Amino acid sequence: MWKPDREADKPIYRQIVEQIERRIALGELPPGSALPSERKLAEQLGVNRSTIVQAYEELRASGLIESRTGSGTRVCRNKWGLVPRSAPNWNAYVEGGTFLPNLPFLRRIRDSIRSGEPFVNFASGELAADLSPNDVIRRLMAEQPFQEPLGYGDPAGYAPLRAAIASFLQERRGMVATDESILVTSGSQQSLYLIAQCLLSPGDAIAVENPSYGYSLPMFQSAGLRLFGLPQDERGVKPDDIEALYRRHRIRMVFLNPNYQNPTGIVLDPSRRLELLACCERLGIPIVEDDPFGLTSIDGYPPPPLKALDRNGTVLYVGSLSKIAASGFRIGWMVAPHSVVRRLADARQQMDFGLSVFPQWIAAHFLNSRELEYHLARLRDSLRLRRNLLAEALRDELADEIGFDLPAGGLNLWCSVNEPVHDYALLENGIKNGVLFVPGSVYGSDSGFVRFTYAKPAVEEIGPGVRKFAAALRQTRAGR
């Protein structure tokens, strides 16, 4: 075991500080882990207690550890995000402190999934294995001879894929996007990360829909951004609220998810789209339009994207293959002014030297294949079936206890609980009953909401899963 060196020039308390810093940095003391009491550590190391008091004080001052009456001294939880200590506004990232307490929910859900126990998974926002085009991809890989250069490619992405994405967006989303305006990314997460890190600064205020996945992204915290919520009615967010936020908080960017919004399923009204665009143009605030679900429509089709209406380069459009093909693809795209594409591509070089040619090559073939049409039609049919099964089961089991609007597309059903219960207790009872879902407060809403993803569980699991949820809800009501 490590002991301080009494012969060294360095004071003993300082040696102890550095030893603990090292153990934290190497992950031996993960966030939240308990440190020994001052008395006990003094004994272990054979030093005076006052030396430990001094060492802990210094570690507390640098924000690495925290002490609370009753629970002792622990490694701080918020020190392990990306770039945590470099963001000067680290503690200023969320309005009203509704953010941090939610993250433990996501950790709890993830740990449950990793445990390998057989949960009905209404929590993971991704497609079930049988909804992904595995056959098409297997055939593409077997039949198309791979003959691409294997050197470092264009930092903005593999040229044939940029071209395929441009035609895909033109044909299916009515957008005029040139190859040069497309940055290939590893998915929406990387697109948003690049925007947050390169176009915004710590302390900047941004507007997001409320509720919204924005509240669940530690990435926004790590970038030190301050999130302000835009209320939504059944037609989406309102331009006036953006204007008001701009006046009060100088918001620097607006993040919108206009089609089958995550988690509410709301579709932003066509006339509101025009008004929002005009408003943001006037204020000079860029809009990030995140559109993962535009092609997962179930009933009818969504209106044209804001980017299709954008004449002034106000909109950065973000999309991906994750929700329409497979999340394991790790292929996404951003449509942006050429100068932004180049800047973000150069910045990404520092992170990963760009993307592998293999998924880009497969994605280009997939987007150009005749089977894409059939895949998307089959996906929509299958999502309709799952959504209907979920809605029926919820009505059957919990008619008087919950409420929801049927989503017209996307992967999620947003459900309100008539007499709200405590989110944490509900989730714990769900886990006990073998069902996973995401409590609404993860998305910044009040308690009493739940997001169900119907794309992930198997068709035959949906009914039983809802019954497990109903049991969990009743147990929670009964105070168990």
User: Which residues 1-20 are close enough to bind a copy of itself by CB under 8 A?
Assistant: 18-19
Please say whether the dihedral angle defined by the alpha carbons of residues 76, 78, 79 and 85, taken in this order, is positive or negative: negative
User: Which residues 189-228 are close enough to bind a copy of itself by CB under 8 A?
Assistant: 189-190, 193, 197-199, 201-202, 217-219, 222-224
- Is the CB of 69 or the CB of 147 nearer to a copy of itself? 147
User: Which residues 149-168 are close enough to bind a copy of itself by CB under 8 A?
Assistant: 149-153
User: Which residues 24-83 are close enough to bind a copy of itself by CB under 8 A?
Assistant: 25-28, 30, 80-83
372 binds a copy of itself (CB under 8 A): no
Spatial contact of 379 and 296, defined as CB atoms under 8 Å apart = yes
In the list 55, 340, 402, 470, the residue contacting a copy of itself (rule: CB under 8 A) is: 340
236 binds a copy of itself (CB under 8 A): no
Residue 233 gets which letter from DSSP?
Answer: B
Q: Of the candidates 431, 414, 328, 327, which has an alpha carbon nearest to the alpha carbon of residue 114? A: 431
In the list 354, 448, 457, 465, the residue contacting a copy of itself (rule: CB under 8 A) is: 354
Residue 176 gets which letter from DSSP?
Answer: -
Query: At 480, which amino acid appears?
Result: R
Q: How far is the CB of 143 from a copy of itself (least distance, A)?
A: 8
- Is the CB of 25 or the CB of 377 nearer to a copy of itself? 25
What burial letters (b/e) apply to 187-205, b meaning 16+ CB within 10 Å? bbbbbbbbbbbebbebbbb
User: Which helix (H) or strand (E) element contains residue 227?
Assistant: strand 226-231
User: Which residues 298-317 are close enough to bind a copy of itself by CB under 8 A?
Assistant: 313
129 binds a copy of itself (CB under 8 A): yes
Q: How far is the CB of 31 from a copy of itself (least distance, A)?
A: 9
Query: At 294, which amino acid appears?
Result: G
In the list 34, 53, 141, 176, the residue contacting a copy of itself (rule: CB under 8 A) is: 141
In the list 48, 50, 86, 91, the residue contacting a copy of itself (rule: CB under 8 A) is: 86
How many residues contact a copy of itself, by CB under 8 A?
82
- x/- binding map, residues 415-444, to a copy of itself, per CB under 8 A? ------------------------------
Q: How far is the CB of 70 from a copy of itself (least distance, A)?
A: 27
Q: How far is the CB of 144 from a copy of itself (least distance, A)?
A: 8
Query: What 3-state DSSP class applies to 33?
Result: coil
d(CA 390, CA 378): 18
Q: Of the candidates 409, 463, 466, 464, which has an alpha carbon nearest to the alpha carbon of residue 437? A: 466
For 357, residues 6+ apart whose C-beta sits below 8 A from its C-beta are 148, 149, 150, 153, 158
- Is the CB of 351 or the CB of 377 nearer to a copy of itself? 351
In angstroms, what is the C-alpha Rg of the chain?
Answer: 25
284 binds a copy of itself (CB under 8 A): yes
d(CA 104, CA 453): 19
458 binds a copy of itself (CB under 8 A): no
- Is the CB of 136 or the CB of 391 nearer to a copy of itself? 136
Q: How far is the CB of 363 from a copy of itself (least distance, A)?
A: 9
In the list 116, 118, 339, 478, the residue contacting a copy of itself (rule: CB under 8 A) is: 339
For 226, residues 6+ apart whose C-beta sits below 8 A from its C-beta are 89, 92, 93, 94, 95, 203, 204, 205, 206, 249
In the list 337, 434, 463, 464, the residue contacting a copy of itself (rule: CB under 8 A) is: 337
ω before 457 within 30° of 0 (cis)?
Answer: no
Q: How far is the CB of 314 from a copy of itself (least distance, A)?
A: 9
- Is the CB of 158 or the CB of 404 nearer to a copy of itself? 158
d(CA 124, CA 324): 15
ω before 36 within 30° of 0 (cis)?
Answer: no
Q: Of the candidates 225, 216, 218, which has an alpha carbon nearest to the alpha carbon of residue 197? A: 225
| Tokens read off for 274 | 């025009």
- Is the CB of 26 or the CB of 478 nearer to a copy of itself? 26
Q: How far is the CB of 222 from a copy of itself (least distance, A)?
A: 6
457 binds a copy of itself (CB under 8 A): no
